[in-house]
Amino acid sequence: MDSTSEPDDFAITAQISLVEQSFRTLKHGDMFGVFDHRGDIRPGHGATEGIFFQDTRMLSEFEFLLAGQPPILLSSTLRDDNATLTCDLSNPDLPALHLSGNLIHIRRSRFLWQGTCYERISIRNFDVTPHSLVVEIRYGADFADLFEVRGMTRTRHGRHEPAEVSLNDVVLAYTGLDARRRTTRLRFDPAPNRIDEGRALFNIDLPPHGNALLFVEISCDRTAYTRKPAEVFLACMREQRKWTRENSARATAIDTSNQIFNEAMRRAISDLTMLTTQLPTGPYPYAGIPWFSTAFGRDALITALNVLWMDPAIARGVLMYLAENQATETDAASDAEPGKILHEVRRGEMAELREVPFRRYYGSVDSTPLFVLLAGEYLGRTGDIETVRTLWPNIQAALGWIDSNTGRDPRGFVSYFRQTEEGLANQGWKDSFDSISHADGSLAAGPISLCEVQAYTFGARRAAAAIAHQLGHADEAAQQTAKAESLREKFEKSFWCETLGTYALALDGAGKPCRVRASNAGHVLLTGIASPDRASRVAESLMEGRIFNGWGVRTLAAGEQRFNPMAYHNGSVWPHDNALIAIGLARYDYKLPAEKIFCGLYDASLYMDLRRLPELFCGFGRRRFQGPTFYPVACSPQAWAATSLHAALGACLGLSFDPAESSVIFNRPRLPPFLNEVRLLNLSLGKAHISVMLRRIGTEVSMNVLDRTGTIHAILRA
Distance CA 573, CA 552 (A): 6
Is the Cβ–Cβ distance between 136 and 201 less than 8 Å? yes
Q: Which of 661, 537, 503, 671 is nearest to 602 (CA)?
A: 671
What pLDDT digit, counting tens, does each position of 214-253 carry? 999 999 987 667 788 888 999 999 999 999 999 888 899 9
* Distance between CA atoms of residues 33 and 118, nearest Å: 11
Return the half-sphere exposure (C-beta side, CA atoms, 13 A cut-off) of residue 693: 10
Instruction: Note the pLDDT of residue 9.
Output: 61
Q: What pLDDT shows up at residue 222?
A: 77
Q: What's the mean pLDDT in 50-73?
A: 97
Residue 605 has φ and ψ, to the nearest 5°, of -65, -25
Among 342, 357, 358, 265, residue whose Cα is nearest residue 298: 342
How confident is residue 22, by pLDDT bands cut at 50, 70 and 90?
Answer: low
Mean pLDDT of 8-17: 55
Q: What is the pLDDT of residue 4?
A: 41
CB 46 within 8 A of CB 142: no
H-type alpha helices, 183-290: 229-249, 259-275
- What DSSP character marks residue 536? H
pLDDT band at 11 (very low <50, low <70, confident <90, very high): low
Radius of gyration of the chain, Cα coordinates, nearest whole angstrom: 26
Say how far apart CA 549 and CA 574 lie, in whole Å.
12
Average pLDDT over residues 464-471: 98
pLDDT at residue number 248: 86
With beta carbons less than 8 A apart as the criterion, state whether 339 and 327 touch: yes
How many other CB atoms sit within 10 Å of the CB of residue 410? 10
Give 141-187 pLDDT, tens digit per residue: 999 999 999 989 999 999 999 999 999 999 999 999 999 999 999 99
Q: What is the DSSP string of 36-84?
A: -TTS-B--STT---EEEETTEEEESEEEEEETTBPPEEEEEEE-TTS--
Nearest Cα residue to 412 out of 506, 504, 487, 521: 487
- Other C-beta atoms closer than 10 Å to the C-beta of 365 total 29
Across 32-41, 111-120, 225-234, 377-386, least confident range: 225-234
How distant, in Å, are the alpha carbons of 142, 168, 171, 177, 399 from that of 223?
20, 14, 10, 22, 46
74 neighbors 162 (Cβ within 8 angstroms): no
Per residue in 570-626, pLDDT (tens digit) is 999 999 999 999 999 999 999 999 999 999 999 999 999 999 999 999 999 999 999
User: How does residue 21 score in pLDDT terms, banded at 50, 70 and 90?
Assistant: low
When pLDDT is cut at 50, 70 and 90, the band that residue 3 belongs to is very low
pTM higher than the cut 0.85: yes
Q: Residue 8: which pLDDT band, with cuts at 50, 70 and 90? A: low
Question: CA–CA distance from 431 to each of 8, 398, 597, 716 (Å)?
Answer: 9, 22, 24, 41
| β-pair partners for 183 | 173
- Which domains does the chain possess? 18-244 (2.70.98.40), 250-652 (1.50.10.10), 665-717 (no CATH)
Specify the pLDDT at position 257: 98
Residue 659 neighbours by CB under 8 Å, 6+ apart: 380, 381, 382, 383, 685, 686
Question: Can you tell me the mean pLDDT for 374-396?
Answer: 98
Chain Cα centroid distance, residue 299: 7
Q: What is the mean pLDDT of the chain?
A: 95
Percent of the chain at pLDDT exceeding 90? 91
Given pLDDT bands bounded at 50, 70 and 90, which one contains residue 44? confident
pLDDT of 536 > 50? The answer is yes
Query: Residues 542-557: what's their mean pLDDT?
Result: 98
pLDDT for 105-134, tens place per residue? 999 999 999 999 999 999 999 999 999 999
Average pLDDT estimate for 527-546: 97
The per-residue pLDDT for 2 is 40
pLDDT at 45: 63
Residue-level pLDDT at 201: 98
DSSP H or E segment with residue 26: strand 24-28
**Which range (75-89, 416-430, 667-681) has the least confidence?**
416-430
Based on the number of CB atoms within 10 Å of its own CB, is 353 exposed (0-12), middle (13-18) or buried (19 or more)?
Answer: middle
Mean pLDDT confidence for 340-344 = 97
